[in-house]
Amino acid sequence: MIENIHNNTDSNLMLKKELINIASSAGSPLTSQKEELQRSQITQELKQQLHEASSELNKEMKRINTDISFKYNDDIQGLVVTVKDNNGSKILREIPSKEAIELMKKMHSIITGLIFDKKG
């Protein structure tokens, strides 16, 4: 079970590296619609794999009676880890925190605004 999670993590890292390569070439002109389609497919595959990994991790945490949960967050396009107390009624820690997630969203908005500023 843990090996499957490890293999999924390796696949996720490969997809993340590909996404980083795509992002680093963001200023260059697109060469074809085929490349754009490939980028979109890679993004969807990564998102799907993160959903599957979080589901597998949650199953494993329940199996070992641990109140740690993993979920995919669309805003940061990554996993969020939540640690709860023994009876599961109170959240002890969330990684990244809600404040950090809000900061990431605002930074993304600012960067997008700077890149696509109509005044420049």
pLDDT digits (tens, 9 = 90+) for 83-94: 887 777 788 889
Structure tokens at 16: 């993340």
Has residue 73 got a pLDDT over 80?
A: yes
Pairwise CA distance, residues 65 & 93, whole Å: 17
Q: Mean pLDDT across the chain, nearest whole number?
A: 77
Pairwise CA distance, residues 110 & 120, whole Å: 15
pTM for the predicted model, two decimal places: 0.51
Which residues fall within 8 angstroms of residue 71, CB to CB, at 6 or more apart? 54, 79, 80, 82
pLDDT digits (tens, 9 = 90+) for 93-117: 899 988 998 998 888 888 877 777 6
